[in-house]
Amino acid sequence: MIGLGREIYHVPLVEYGILGSAAVHVISGVSLNLARKYYRYLKYGKSNIKKRQSGDDKLIVPGKEEDIEVRDADKGLGGITSVLGAGSRVSFTSRYLGLSPLAFSGYFFLALLTGHVYYERVSPIVVDGDSSFVDLSYVAYSLQKTFLKTYFGLNTLVLVGSYHMLVGMNRILRRFTLKQRKMTYKAIFVLATLGAVSLWRISQIDVLPAMAAKFHSYVP
């Protein structure tokens, strides 16, 4: 399966397309975040910019708490407290970093993905000129060599990536109600759990000594 995937995304035009679309996404995200900050600065001034929010919780149908919409980007999914019925809260990242949870997860995901691409694509190219030896046994070798570091890093990549993509999709589709946010939390949990189990199973793959020697040059 990973070999089939490599045949698709390593085609030059496809790979450049992926890199190009990723660059456009990052640039547009950063630009929108800067524009949002500038708008708040013009509207509220420097002293109140961190105290103001871009929207309010909105109850669509009286008496139906699950229809409360959290539209404020600074609240993200509203926090665990909103799921427990204690109301939504402005996120830690918004209060102390000036970034919405979606923006922060995007920057964090970019950093994680950059490291992942380096080890999975760039490092093999530097050593061998291509990455044709990279398959699940390479991932297994990395897990076996530095289990805690690799396992934690890849699981964090899955978790942050899942959060960023699902929350971003919610905002695009305007899915703001408590019921929809609960579904998003469940989806993130399922994806993170599947990722953790899959990585554990991959770590049990036997790596041939010859391949281990090759992979050692990729991950010194």
Convert the pLDDT of each residue in 86-118 to its tens digit: 556 667 777 777 788 888 899 999 999 999 988
Place of tokens 């990455």: 131
pLDDT-derived band at 1 (thresholds 50, 70, 90) equals: very low
Helix, strand, coil tally for the chain in percent (to 5): 70, 5, 25
* Residue 4 pLDDT: 46
pLDDT tens string 156-172: 999 999 999 998 888 88
Other C-beta atoms lying within 10 Å of the C-beta of residue 161: 21
What is the C-alpha separation between 32 and 85, in angstroms, rounded? 31
For residue 145, the 8-state DSSP code is H
Per-residue pLDDT, averaged over 18-29, amounts to: 85
pLDDT-derived band at 81 (thresholds 50, 70, 90) equals: low
Whether the Cβ atoms of residue 95 and residue 102 lie closer than 8 Å to each other: no
Instruction: Output the pTM of the full model.
Output: 0.77
Secondary structure (3-state) at 120? helix
With both helix axes pointing from N to C terminus, report the angle between 147-173 and 136-145 in degrees, rounded to the nearest 10: 120
Q: Does the pLDDT at position 154 exceed 50?
A: yes
For residue 68, the 8-state DSSP code is E
Q: Does the pLDDT at position 23 exceed 80?
A: yes
Q: Over the chain, what is the mean pLDDT?
A: 78
Residue 207 has, within 13 A of its CA and on its CB side, a CA count of 24
